[in-house]
Structure 1
Amino acid sequence: MATINSFPGSPFQRALAAGIEANVPTAVIGEPGQGKTATMESATSGWGRHCETVIGSNREATDFLGVMIEDKGAIKYSSFQWVKNLNNAAKGLLLLDEFNTSAPSTMKGMLRVVQEGYVGDTKLNDTVSIVALMNPIETAVDAYDLPAPMANRMMHLKWVFDTSNWLENVGTGFQNTKPLPLSEMLAADPLSRKAAVSAAVTTFLKVNSKFLTPPVPTDPVKAGGAWPSPRSWTNVINVLSRLDRYDEESAFLVVEGLVGEGAATEYFKWLAAADLHDPAEVIDGTVLVDWKNERADRLFALVQGVTTRPRSLTGPCWWTGRTNGPTACSPSSRVSRRWAFPVAVSCGARLPSSWPSAPRAASRMWLSPPRRSSRTTCPTTSGACHSASPTPSWNCSATPSTR
C-alpha cells in the first residue's frame, strides 16, 4: 500500500492537478507577493498547455460576452483572440487573475464562462481548464467575498508557497525549473477509479441526505467558499477520481474545497468506518465477497460502483456468474428493500441488450419491489425475475405468469 509520503509533489499540488485534469474550475487564494501568477503561468507551459491570463479587475461584462455583430443576416456575439488561442491549442488553461476584485457586473458575465465554458457564443474546448487566482479580501484591493452561485461552481484551495523551490532557484531566475508532470501526481486509471468514488459518495449521501441539499449559507463568508450541493458533490466525484485511492491528504483538500470542512470531515469519518469494497478488485477476483452475509450498505456501494464502471471495463462475465455479483439483490441476502430495489433497477437499466447474458443476469435479481409485481420466468434459466410492470425493465423477454 502506498503511503502519504510516497506521492510526488505536495498535497496542494496534487489537489490542484486533479482539479485541472478533471476540468473543474478551481479558485486558489493566497497572500500577495508569493508568485501565484508567475508560478501558474510557468507550470502551465511546462505541462504543455497554452495559458491565457485574464485580469478581472480591468475587464467588463462585455469582455466575457462579446459584442453583437451581424453575420449573414443573423445577430451573434463576437469572439476574442484569447478564446481563439485557447481553442487552437491542444490543451489550454484560462487563468482568471485578481478574480475577487472583478466588478460585480463583470462577475455576472463570468458565471457562464466558469460553469459551462461559454464566452459569448463560443464554447471553450473541453481541453481548456480554468483556474482563478485571488488574494484574501483583507489584503486585496477592493475585493469582496465571491457570490454564492460563483463560489459553488468552484473548488477552493489555499495557496501553499514552495519555500525550498524558491530558495534553490531564485538566484538563477527560475530558468532551470520544471513542474512535476500532471500524470505523475494523479491516478493511472481515472475511469476505473471513478466507479469506486461515485459509489462511495452516493452511498454516503443516501444515509446522510442532509449533506446533499442543505440551505445555502447565509453568512457571506461561508457562502463565498465551499458548501454542499448536488453540483459540488458531482465535482467531488470528478476530481477525486483523478487522485490515487491512497492519497488521503490531497483527497481531504479536494472534498473540503468543494463541499466545506464540515461535510468533508463527516464524509471521511463515514468512509473509514464503512470500509467499502473496490469494484475493480471484486470484478477481477482479487477480493471475494460474502454476498449473503455482507452489510447492506457495502453491497449497495459495490453494485453501484460496478454499474457506473464503463462497460468495457466490466464486461458481461461479471453478470454471468463468475463472481456471482447480481445475487446481492436476492431476498436470501441481507440487502433490505431500501437498498436492493434501487440497485436492481440500476443494474437492469444499464445492461446492454446486446449481451446474451443479460436475461440470465436479470433473472438472478430476485427482489420484492415496493409495490405489487408480476412474476416472469426467463427462457434461458429456471429462475424468475420480478418487475413492477408486465415487461421487466431489464429487457428480459419472459412471459408473465400468475404469482
Structure 2
Amino acid sequence: MQNTEMNIATVKPSEWKDFIKVCLSADLPTMTWGASGIGKSDGLRQIAEEEGYTDVIDIRLSVTDPTDLKGIPVPDVQAGFVRWLRDQRLPTDPKAKVIVLLDEVNSGTPIEQAMAYQFTLDKAIGDYVLPENCRIVCAGNRVSDRGVVNTMPAPLRNRLVHVELVPDVDDWTTWASQNDIVPELVAFVRWKQDQLHHFEPEFTAFPSPRSIAMLSSIMKKRPSSSLEHKLVEGCCGRGFAIEFTGFLKVFRSLPDVQRIKTDPDSVEVPTDPCTLYAMASSVARMADATNMDNVMKYTKRLGREFQMLVLGDIGARDKNLCKNKSFIEMNCDLKKLAQS
C-alpha cells in the first residue's frame, strides 16, 4: 500500500516487523511514522528480542539537550586537551548488541534534530562511535496526529529508510491473545473494527491499541458497575464507552461457556453476529490441554468465520494446543474450503 501524502509505504505491524528486520540486517537506520499509541516502541522491543539484541535504549530527542549525546567538555589540564563526559546510556562495550531508539525524533527542535545527522549516517557523535553490532531506529508522529512535531530537515530525512505504520485488527487481536488482553475487548474490537484506533483531535481521550491495553488492565481489577463506565471513558473516550458498555451487556449474558468443558452439545450457539464475536473470544480464551476436544466440538457448531477466529486466537496464545487432533482436523477442513 502506498501513502501518497508522504510518498512512502504504509504497512501493518506484521509487515513492519519484517521491514525493520531487513533494515537492521543491512545496518540502515529507519524512520517509522505513525499515530500515537499504536505500539511503535513496544513493537520494536519485540523485534529486538526476536533478533537477539540485548536491549533497546530509548532516547527521546524531544527532551534531550544537545549536550546529552555529544557530552560535556571537561578540560584535562595535564594532558592539554578536552575530555567528553557522555551519556551513560550509550554502549561502550565493543561487543554490545543493542538498538538505539531515537523516539519522538521529529518532536525535537531543529538543533536537537541536527544532533542526529552524524549519528544516523556514521553511527558516531564527535569521537564517540557506536559499537559495530548496534543499530539505530527512529520513530515519531505525523503532522496529522496533532502532536508536538516539527518539520524534519531534509538532510536527516535523506539519511533514513522511511515507512508509515498503521494499526491492523487481525495483527492486534493476535497480539492481544498473546498478551492477556481481556476477551471482552478482543471481541469488541473484532466487532467494531474502527474502534481499534479512532482519533478525534477535539476529544481528550480516544481509543488506540495503547489505551485499550490500559483499559484491559483496569477491567482485570473488576471495578464496580457504577465506576466501570467512567473508567472506560477515562481510557478511550465517551463514544467508545457507550458502544463498549452496550457490548458488555451482551458479553455478560452469554451462555455459560464453562459447560463446554463437560457437555459442549448442551451449550447454545448464538445467532446474532455481535454475540457470536463475544462467544468466539470467550471459547478461545478458556481452551487448554484438558478441554481442547470439547472446545473443538463446540467450535465446530459455529460458522466458518468464527471457527477461524477461535483457531487463530488459540494458536496465537498457545502453540502447543495446535497439536490437538481435533484442532488439526478443523484447520485442515477450513483450508480446503478456502481453496475450493
TM-score by structure 2 length?
A: 0.45
- The structure with the largest helix share of the pair is 2
TM-score (norm 1): 0.38
